[in-house]
Amino acid sequence: MAPVVDQLQSRRFTLDAAHEAQEFYHSRGWSDGLPVVPPTPEAVAACLDWVGLPPDHLVGVEPVRQRAITAEKVAINAVMAGCLPMHMPVLVTAITAMLSEPFGVHGATASTGGSAILLVVNGPIRAEVGMTSTFNAAGPSDRATTVIGRAVRLVVMNLLDVRPGGIDRSTFGHPGKISFCVAEDEEHSPWLPLAAERLTPAGVDPAMAYDPATSAVTAMAAMAPRQIMNEWTTEPERILDTYVAEIRANMRHYSIWPGHYAIVIPPQLRAHFEAAGWSKADIRAYVFSRARIRREEWSEVGKGAVVGDKGDREYQALPDEDHLLVVAAGGPAGGFGLVIPPWLGPKSRAVTVPVGACVDC
C-alpha cells in the first residue's frame, strides 16, 4: 500500500515560502483569525498514522446538510490548529460526538444564540496528551486542551461552512467558540468521572461497571461559563444554592427551557462535599429539585410581555437529574465554581463517546 502521504486526496497548493501560509489561509477564510500551522502533507500523514485511520475513513456525516467528514480533513484542520499527532484520538472522538444526531450540530452552530462546543475529557488519555485539570481549567490551561478545542472550531468552520455571517448567525458568540475544552480532575476527586456516569447503562452501578482504562469525550452545546463564589460555608446545600441561583438567573435572563447544564466544582469546594459524603448523584438530585422558576419571574426582569396567563407555571432547568453534568476541575485555591448553561434547552443533547469507539463498524 502506498504511504499515507501519497493517499491524501485534498487539493495541494505550492507556496513560494512557509511564511506565505498565514495570509494564504487567512485570505481564504480558512482560519479563525489566529495564526495557523501550515498543514503539509507530511504533518497530516503523521496525524493519520498516529490515530491509525486511513485518509478516507468516514468520521461522520453532519445530519442536516449531509456533509461527510473524513479523517484526512480532520487531520488537516488539526495540524492548522496546532495539534500534535497524539491529540488526534481525542479530536476524532470529539468530532464523532459532535456529529451524532442528538447533538444537533447544525442548530447549535448556526443559531443566533451563539453557543460553543464544550468538550469534557475523561480517562488516562488526559495525562498521555498533557492535559491539565487544575489552574485555569476552563481557559487556556495547557497546550492539548487549547489546540483540540480550537481544532473542533476549525472543523466546524472549514468542513461545515459555519463562518460568521454565513451559516454562523451568532449575535454575539463568546470566547469559548475559539476553544472550550476541559479535562476533568479525576486524580483529586472523590467522585466518578463524568464519562463513567454517562456511559454506564441505567440500573448498573458505574463504580462497579466502569473500566478506569476508558477514555472518553463529552460534547455539549454551551453558552459562556458564569463564575460563582461561596467561601462562607462548608454545607453542601448552601454551596449548591449558589450554583442554583446562577442557573435560575440564566432561566430568568436568557432561556427558560430545560436542557443540559454543566457545573464545575473546584478542589476547595469539593473538599466540603467529600467531608459530607456527597456523591455526584446527590448533587444532581439537589440541583434538580431546586433549579426551577415560575414564569411570573420574567416580569421582574423585563419580560412581562410574554408571561401571559402562565405566570404560575413552574419551569425546571433540568428535564431530569441526569441532565446535570457535574465536573471536577479547577485550581487548588478559591471557593469559586462555574455554571455552564446550555445553548437552548432541549434542542441539543450532550453526547459522550469513548475514545477509540467506532460508531459504524
Q: Which of 7, 26, 34, 40 binds another protein (CB under 8 A)?
A: 40
- Is 87 a binding residue for another protein by CB under 8 A? The answer is no
Q: d(Cα 225, Cα 262) in Å, to the nearest integer? A: 9
- Is 11 a binding residue for another protein by CB under 8 A? The answer is yes
Q: d(Cα 158, Cα 80) in Å, to the nearest integer? A: 11
Q: Which of 7, 26, 41, 271 binds another protein (CB under 8 A)?
A: 41
CB neighbourhood size of 235 (10 A)? 12
Q: d(Cα 111, Cα 106) in Å, to the nearest integer? A: 8
SS3 287: helix
Q: What are phi and psi of 192, to 5 degrees?
A: -70, 145
- Is 166 a binding residue for another protein by CB under 8 A? The answer is no
Q: d(Cα 242, Cα 300) in Å, to the nearest integer? A: 20
- Is 110 a binding residue for another protein by CB under 8 A? The answer is yes
DSSP H or E stretch at residue 301: none
Minimal distance in Å, beta carbon 58 to another protein? 13
For another protein, the closer CB: 122 or 255: 255
Q: Which of 21, 90, 152, 264 binds another protein (CB under 8 A)?
A: 21
CB neighbourhood size of 82 (10 A)? 20
Q: Per-residue DSSP letters for 113-153?
A: T--EEEEEEESTHHHHTT---STTTTSS-SHHHHHHHHHHH
For another protein, the closer CB: 78 or 283: 78
Minimal distance in Å, beta carbon 103 to another protein? 11
For another protein, the closer CB: 72 or 197: 72
The three grid cell numbers given for residue 286, joined into one nine-digit string: 439537589
The three grid cell numbers given for residue 237, joined into one nine-digit string: 446545600
- Is 15 a binding residue for another protein by CB under 8 A? The answer is yes
317 contacts 261 by C-beta, under 8 angstroms:
yes
Q: Which of 60, 85, 89, 104 binds another protein (CB under 8 A)?
A: 104
Q: What are phi and psi of 194, to 5 degrees?
A: -55, -45
For another protein, the closer CB: 111 or 145: 111
CB neighbourhood size of 14 (10 A)? 4
Pick out residues in 66-85 that bind another protein (CB under 8 A): 67, 73, 76-77, 80
Q: Which of 26, 49, 86, 107 binds another protein (CB under 8 A)?
A: 107
- Is 25 a binding residue for another protein by CB under 8 A? The answer is yes
For another protein, the closer CB: 155 or 196: 155
Q: Which stretch binds another protein (CB under 8 A): 110-118, 126-134, 310-318, 334-342?
A: 110-118
Which residues bind to another protein, rule: CB under 8 A?
8, 10-18, 20-21, 24-25, 30, 38-41, 44, 64, 67, 73, 76-77, 80, 104, 106-108, 110-112, 154, 158-159, 161, 344, 347-348
